[in-house]
């Protein structure tokens, strides 16, 4: 992931999950996001942090 920001749809594509799942992760605070005008965006570094957290959870389980 070398892009600076992703739309919700692009983040979903990168994570290989649905848009609604990404939005739920955002609402729950598991995935950070921000608004720019009317668009909801996810920083590339926040996508990586989310994946690291998932990986760490799997390692603990």
| CA nearest neighbour of 4 among 34, 29, 38 | 34
Q: What is the pLDDT of residue 23?
A: 98
Q: 5-60 has which CATH code?
A: 1.10.1660.10
Q: What is the pLDDT of residue 1?
A: 56
Query: CA-based angle 31:35:41, to the nearest 5?
Result: 50
Q: What is the pLDDT of residue 28?
A: 98
The CA-atom distances, in angstroms, between 38 and each of 7, 17, 20, 35, 42 are: 11, 23, 18, 7, 13
Token duo for residue 9: 């749809």
Instruction: Kindly list the domain boundaries of the chain, sorted by start residue.
Output: 5-60
What mean pLDDT, rounded, does the chain reach?
Answer: 94
β-bridge partners, 32: none
Average pLDDT (13-21) is 97
Q: What is the pLDDT of residue 59?
A: 83
60 pLDDT band, cuts 50/70/90, is confident
Please provide residue 30's backbone torsions phi and psi, each rounded to the nearest 5 degrees.
-75, -30
């Amino acid at each position: 992931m070398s892009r600076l920001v992703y739309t919700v749809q692009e983040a979903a594509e990168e994570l290989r999950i649905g848009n609604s799942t990404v939005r739920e992760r955002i609402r729950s605070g598991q995935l950070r996001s921000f608004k720019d005008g009317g668009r909801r965006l996810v920083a590339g570094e926040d996508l990586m942090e989310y994946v690291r957290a998932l990986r760490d959870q799997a390692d603990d389980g």
